[in-house]
Amino acid sequence: MADQIRVVIQALEGVTEQVIKKLALDVVANLSRAGAEGGTPVDTGWARANWLANVGSSINEPSGSPENVSQAEGDKQSGLGKVLTYKLSAGSVYISNNVPYILRLNDGHSGQAAKGFVQAAIQEAVTGLRLVG
């Protein structure tokens, strides 16, 4: 009986890990689209590049700068790599953006994206979640 319980727990953990990975990847992908497509508005690209995923703790500083967006893009890819290998035992998955004006963008400051685009991108990822297998 104990072996059967362990098998069920392992299966549930595996499904939970897959759901968390998919949601995190989809949220970052949604937020990385053009503002007209429901993603982050772009002037320099710094805000769009700063949707940084991490496992175990949130990232509390912006990456790169408006003049060096490529560093932020590299950090974004590194964080997504951590999500791809995510295990429940590693803790929570965080997606953060710490550019100083991200809240203003989400409040509708830019005409390129609707007010509340962050919440809409998250909702779209949740609604689009399909468990396969």
> pLDDT, tens digit, for every residue of 76-121?
999 999 999 999 999 999 999 999 999 999 999 888 888 999 999 9
pLDDT for 84 equals 96
pLDDT for 85 equals 96
pTM score of the predicted model: 0.90
Give the count of beta carbons closer than 10 Å to the beta carbon of residue 20. 17
Distance CA 64, CA 111 (A): 24
pLDDT for 132 equals 53
pLDDT for 44 equals 93
For the cut 90, the answer to whether the pLDDT of residue 1 exceeds it is no
Distance CA 107, CA 98 (A): 15
Q: Where are the alpha helices (DSSP H) in the chain?
A: 2-31, 46-49, 69-84, 102-106, 117-127
Distance CA 63, CA 72 (A): 5
Picking from 103, 96, 114, the residue whose alpha carbon sits closest to that of residue 37 is: 114
For the cut 90, the answer to whether the pLDDT of residue 126 exceeds it is yes
